[in-house]
Structures are given as C-alpha cells and as structure tokens.
C-alpha cells in the first residue's frame, strides 16, 4: 500500500470535493453498471428480475458486443476510453512492456504493477484519454468508480484518479479517503464466493456518495460476479446463479434508492457486461506446444515470448515464423490466428491469414507478431448453456466465440427511449462516447473509436438510418495435412464494424 500512496502523489489525485460544491454542477447523472461475465442469456425474469424490468422501461440492445480479446482488463479499458486495444494499448489481461520487463508479461489485475508501469512509460500506460480525464478537463461532471473487481481492473477505469477517485474493497484512492469511507460505510467485509457482502458494501458506498450526498455526476459500478464465482463453479451452476441474483439485488437497491430520493428524472442507468462466458475444454498452452515441437528452447526462454495469447518473436525466431504458425494452426484446440502485417512469412501464409487489424489489436508499439485464439464449439453443458472453448479451467472467457462476444445492454432514464429494442449493433466502446455526449462534453483531444448511440437517445436529431448488415470474410491456408479455414463475421452499420465471432474449420486429407 505504501507504493500505491507514493504513486498516487505522483498522479496528483484529488478528492471527493472536486466539484461537489460547485453551483454549476450538472443536474443530470449517469450510472454505468458492468456485471462481470453476465451472459446475454442469463438475463430473464427469473434470474435477473430487476435488470429484466429495465428492458420495458428503457432501451434494450439486441446486438451488443464485447471487445476482443474478451477479457476483463481489455474491456475495462475499452469502456473507459471508448476505444479498441489498437488505440488504448491494453492488449490483454497480461501485457508485454519490454521497458518494464523484457522477459514476461505484466499482470494488469494488480494496480501497483500498473502504476509502476505507468511511471516507467512516462504516464503513457494508456495511449488514449479516458472518461475521468475528459470529464475533469471539461468541468462538466465529477467521476467516480465503485468496484468489487481486482485493483487493476478498477484502476484502469480511472487510471489518472480524476474526479472522486476509486472505491474498491482492496484499494481506496486517493488514499486520504480511506479513513473517511470506512467510518461512513463500515468495515470492509472479506472476499467470498459469491462475493455478496462486498457487492453490498460497494453499493452502500455508491448510494451514500453518488445519490444521498449527491457528489458524483458520472459513476461506474463494476460487480465481480458472476465472473468470480463461475470461473470455478461453471456456467449455470447453483452457486453461479446465486451470484447473479445477488448482483441483481444490489441493482434493485440502486433503482429503489433513486426512486426514494426522487431522482428518477435525473438519473440515467445503464447495465451491461464486459464479456460472456464459455465452458472450457482445456489446451496444452502455446509455449508448451512450441517447446514440444522443438520450435522454442524452453518455456522460460526469450527466443519466443508468449504473453497470454500474444506471441512475440526475437530476430532469429522471426526467420522461422512460418513453421511456428503452421505448427499451431494444425492443432484442433487452436482457433483464429491473426498476424502482424510487418511479419515476413514464407509461402502464401501472409496472404491467407487475417491481420491484427481484423480485430483492432494493431497497436503501433505493443502489438505482438501474431495472436492465437483458442477454438470453440456449440456444445451444451450439464445446465443447458451452450458454448465451449478450449481455454483451461472449468469455465471462463477470452475467445472470439459468440457466447463470449455477445453481451446484454439496457439503458433507462431521462435520456433514453422507453420500451425500445435497438436492432443496430453496438459495443463496449460506444458506452463512454454516448455518456459524454449526454452530458454535453465536447473535447477535440478525445477521439474514441466508438460511436454515439443516437438511435436510443430521446430527442436525437442524428438517428442512424442504416440497417444492420452481417458479413463474413473467409481465408483458407493450404497445408500438408489439408486446409485451415478461418471465417470472421461482423455486424456493420455504415462505417462502424463490430466483430460478432470467428469460426475455424479444418479439412484434413483422408
């Protein structure tokens, strides 16, 4: 914690009083609730009665998308910046920053690691502005984060600690708020599975500071369940469903508090998820596979550095890049493989593999030489939920399956159309641009990749007239054993393109 205190001083944090006493404080509030790993098909009257009730009262996105890779910290940052990894630079749950560590990836779930990396990177951990910075510079709202997720996930939602900072059971920033929050909200409960007590505590903090004391104009609430429970218990398991109901209860408390305080005409409420979930089949791991095939010296060697699903090659290994990639695409557990356009491949591999630009991962400084997704299937688990992937563990996320890419999106409040089903595609990157637009924030230095969801806004004169279209791009690589075919499917509207899913097909010679 001492390391965090020192770094917070460097970041120049400010406290709750930032704009709370200003006579010019905006009347409108917007609250974005992210329910970690809330699958689209979890939302119904039985599982999530409070979230489900919002559908009739607001706007419901039928085609909402996670950002790929479908991991939490990529989507935390994509949400906060309104942009894709190619723009913000957080490429996975672990990221490779050679100036910080030249041999392995950094855990983005640990705020102290991210603060250290930000310092080494001269304040450029993120290569784009985020919502806290934009709101602060505009003077049009006070921003705060309330989260039961990891410290790193929370930090990436407000990495410059702007506005009112961050309240997380394991990290309250600025540090000088810690005693105040404990005195007013109560002692922090221990982490549990499901994480009910901590969800309740964070909700108490939100209700106190954002609603009762009216100190926050734009807030992000991030609940760590069902993700934290489902990783070990599985999709549809009794404890997983209990964790979903627990979070829904907290959202019900927020809705009730808004009504009791007479704030229904002031508060916009958005509920979404960072990604879906899939049951897992397992895989040997990229590094282990390459070592076994004699293509990498050892799991710890620096000839090929594997960070999550990203593969970085040294000069000598790049000469063998074609053989490395051919070895991987021959494996049934390997799904989509995307290559850096700067990589020189033999044969027709470069022409017949999709580039990193395909999923907006082509960050100019941090992109790997290639990215390896795991394969997925449409099988159904014991609880009736479809979707398996070849990741390890009981269940989780990260792949480009439709079960992980599709997420719920519901928005109700004075700014949103009531009883409206949005058939146009949208995504995690669109939420913050829409929120800033609602609050009248105009900042020419903020250039997000996402769009403003005009079609769901009351009184918008810029309705999207284009219809949803779906397109699939196909590339096939001919190999000694047969063909590796990759299908990439998008939903599009005008110039905006959203990755729906990929599909890998292998046609082996008999």
HEC string of 462-492 equals CCCCCCCEEEEEEEEEEECCEEEEEEEEEEE
Residue 391 located in a structural domain:
no
On whether both 366 and 274 belong to a single domain, the answer is: no
In this structure, is residue 462 part of a structural domain?
no
Q: Regarding beta strands 267-272 and 29-35, do their DSSP bridges make them parallel or antiparallel, or are they unpaired?
A: parallel
Report the domain count for the chain: 2
Examine residue 385 and state whether it is found in any structural domain, yes or no.
no
Reference 314, options 336, 327, 297; nearest CA is 297
Give this prediction's pTM.
0.94
Same domain, yes or no, for 27 and 172? yes
Quote the pLDDT of residue 461: 77
Per-residue pLDDT, 346: 74
Q: Are residues 273 and 296 in the same domain?
A: no
Q: Quick one: pLDDT at residue 13?
A: 38
Question: Could you check whether the bond before residue 69 is cis, i.e. omega within 30 degrees of 0?
Answer: yes
Structure tokens at 175: 């540090």
Do 193 and 308 lie in one domain? The reply is no
My answer on whether 193 and 302 are in the same domain is no
Residue 303 lies in a domain: yes
Residue 464 forms part of a structural domain: no
Q: Are residues 177 and 205 in the same domain?
A: yes
Same domain (yes/no): 202, 316: no
Q: pLDDT digits over 39-63, tens only? A: 999 999 999 999 999 999 999 999 9
pLDDT of residue 162: 86
Same domain, 20 and 158: yes
The answer on 489 and 439 residing in a single domain is no
Asked if 461 and 485 count as a contact pair (C-beta separation under 8 A), the reply is no
- Angle (CA) 368-373-484 rounded to 5° is 105
In a domain, 140, yes or no: yes
343 and 249 in a common domain: no
Residues 80 and 136 in one domain: yes
ω into 388 cis (within 30 of 0): no
CATH number at residue 435: 3.40.720.10
Please give the pLDDT value at position 465: 67
| Domain annotation covers residue 55 | yes
Is 238 a domain residue? yes
The reported pLDDT for the residue numbered 501 is 98
Angle between helices 196-206 and 178-185 (to 10 degrees): 100
Q: Give tens-digit pLDDT for 206-229.
A: 999 999 999 999 999 999 999 999
Q: Are residues 231 and 356 in the same domain?
A: no
Pair 293, 320: CB distance under 8 Å? no
d(CA 180, CA 197): 20
Low-confidence ranges of the chain (pLDDT < 70): 1-26, 463-465
Domain that residue 148 falls in: 2-279+396-456
Are residues 462 and 390 in contact, defined by beta-carbon separation less than 8 angstroms? no
pLDDT value of residue 348? 81
């Amino acid at each position: 914690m001492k390391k965090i205190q020192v770094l917070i001083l460097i970041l120049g944090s400010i406290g709750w009083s930032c704009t709370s006493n200003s006579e010019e404080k905006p009347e409108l509030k917007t609250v974005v609730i992210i329910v970690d790993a809330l699958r689209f098909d979890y939302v119904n009257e039985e599982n999530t009665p409070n979230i489900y009730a919002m559908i009739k009262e607001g706007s419901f996105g039928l085609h909402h998308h996670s950002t790929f890779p479908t991991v939490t910290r990529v989507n935390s940052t994509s949400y906060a910046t309104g942009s894709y990894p190619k723009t913000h630079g957080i490429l996975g749950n672990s990221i490779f920053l050679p100036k910080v560590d030249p041999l392995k990836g950094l855990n983005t779930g640990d705020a102290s690691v991210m603060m250290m990396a930000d310092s080494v990177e001269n304040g450029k951990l993120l290569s784009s502005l985020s919502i806290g910075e934009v709101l602060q510079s505009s003077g049009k709202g006070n921003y705060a984060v309330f989260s039961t997720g990891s410290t790193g996930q929370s930090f990436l939602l407000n990495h410059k600690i702007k506005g009112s900072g961050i309240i997380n059971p394991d990290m309250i920033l600025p540090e000088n708020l810690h005693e105040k929050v404990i005195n007013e909200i109560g002692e922090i409960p221990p982490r549990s599975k499901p994480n009910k007590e901590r969800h309740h505590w964070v909700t108490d903090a939100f209700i106190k500071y954002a609603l009762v004391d009216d100190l926050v104009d734009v807030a992000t609430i991030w609940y760590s369940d069902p993700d934290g429970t489902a990783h070990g218990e599985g999709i549809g398991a009794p404890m997983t469903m209990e964790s979903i109901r627990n979070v829904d209860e907290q959202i019900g408390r927020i809705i009730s508090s808004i009504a009791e305080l007479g704030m229904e005409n002031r508060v916009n409420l958005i509920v979404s998820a960072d990604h879906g979930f899939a049951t897992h089949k397992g895989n040997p791991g990229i590094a282990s596979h390459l070592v076994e095939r004699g293509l990498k010296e050892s799991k710890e060697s620096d000839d090929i550095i594997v960070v999550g699903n990203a593969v970085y090659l040294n000069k000598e290994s790049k000469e063998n890049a074609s053989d490395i990639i051919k070895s991987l695409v021959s494996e049934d557990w390997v799904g989509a493989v995307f290559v850096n356009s700067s990589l020189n491949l033999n044969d027709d591999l470069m022409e017949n593999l999709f580039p990193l630009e395909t999923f907006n991962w082509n960050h100019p400084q941090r992109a790997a030489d290639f990215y390896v997704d795991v394969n997925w299937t449409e099988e159904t688990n014991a609880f009736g939920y479809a979707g398996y992937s070849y990741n390890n563990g009981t269940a989780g996320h990260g792949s480009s399956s439709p079960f992980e890419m599709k997420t719920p999106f519901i928005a109700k409040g004075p700014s949103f159309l009531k009883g409206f089903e949005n058939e146009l595609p949208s995504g995690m990157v669109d939420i913050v641009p829409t929120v800033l637009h609602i609050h009248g924030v105009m900042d020419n230095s903020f250039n997000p990749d996402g769009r403003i969801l005009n079609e769901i806004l009351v009184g918008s004169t810029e309705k999207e007239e284009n219809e949803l279209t779906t397109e699939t791009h196909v590339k096939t690589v001919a190999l000694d054993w047969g063909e590796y075919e990759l299908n990439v499917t998008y939903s599009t509207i005008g110039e905006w393109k959203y990755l729906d899913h990929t599909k890998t097909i292998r046609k082996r010679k008999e």
